[in-house]
Amino acid sequence: MFLSIPSSSSSFLLFICLFLFSILTEPLCSSAQLLPNSSSSGHTRQSHHNHRQLSVDYYSKSCPDIERLVGAVTSQQFKLTPVSAPATINLFFHDCFVEGCDGSILVASTGGSKAEKEAEQNRELREEGFEIVKKAKELVESKCPGVVSCADILAVAARDFVHLAGGPYYQVKKGRWDGKISMASRVGNNLPFANSTIDQLIKLFASKGLTLEDMVALSGAHTIGYAHCNHFVTRLYKPDPNMDPKLMYALRMYCPSYGGTNAVVPFDAATPFLFDNAYYGNLQKKMGLLASDQALFLDPRTKPLVEAMAKDKQKFFQAFASAMERMSLVRVKRGRKHGEKRKDCSMHA
């Protein structure tokens, strides 16, 4: 979920999808970020107090058309560039897990100070996600100047794309302020790795106040989008007994052991832009791309949840919507002491 999708030609991606689809649907086959660390207890208490001040109708008087305005941008961009969906959802995850859901990922570096987005772990974030927020912010500012935060726009846009891609619609609480701090040095281990263990992921999620079910549900965002070869190439050449051999051999065509790590492969080759529960079915077939994804089916603590969500799409949708709402409240900022309202999301106020 916390992996982005690099630029590449549409014809190349289509070829990959068609080829892998034939592997995924082959009758002989055996039976797609990642998750980010830590907030102090002080931050947790402050955030709990702050998110109680958020509400679905926060802008009912100051900017009543915010959902329609953001929706006009997201719906248009989804038709033009479907990759905007996983790009924006991924951007939202990366934002929330570092400084909290405060739009700090959107800030550009200035002078000698490297912003959060420049951290090594964030360099694969696609530009489409940033562009969506920029366009939506410009439209909202034209109607409601100085009112709506970039953090709220990102939260609403991420929800829109989940729904536009076929996933659940859920209400987004609003009232976040934008963060005053955006530093690459603060990213550290807050963003997980493709080979994170279940123990590491559980610890990470618990530090955000998120449950085991939240973790498994949010991982389901890998039902859309793509992964870079470098995040799973070591699984192809060791090889990994927990990856389906047919999938492994197919992936070797696109992910050489040396070089070529910028290539991409869809998490779910059958429906790469459809938000469904196919991700969990793939894990049952040993077709998870990332070791951290496949581990969800191997660990007895998470396997029952994978099986339940693979069997029941509505159960997955309900769990995902609930998890997204809880994640969207992580370390939110409120008031001028802790936050700001940016006119340009890439620049501090």
228 catalytic, yes or no?
no
What tokens appear for 146 in the block?
């100085």
**Going along the chain, which residue ranges are E strands?**
178-179, 226-228, 264-266, 339-340
Angle at CA of residue 213, ends 212 and 218, nearest 5° = 105
Residues 6+ apart with CB under 8 A from 80: none
Is residue 59 within 8 Å of residue 147, measured between CB atoms? Answer: yes
- For the chain, the residue count is 349
DSSP state of 177: B
Distance CA 20, CA 112 (A): 44
Give CA separation, 123 vs 7, 109, 118, 221, in Å.
Answer: 13, 13, 6, 19
Question: Tokens 């106020």 appear where?
Answer: 349
What tokens appear for 111 in the block?
């002078």
Give CA separation, 349 vs 180, 342, 346, in Å.
Answer: 8, 5, 10
Distance CA 180, CA 91 (A): 18
- Burial label for 9, CB within 10 Å (0-12, 13-18, 19+), is exposed
Paired with 110 in beta bridges are 113
Catalytic residue among 43, 48, 94, 338: 94
Distance CA 106, CA 337 (A): 20
Active site residues: 94
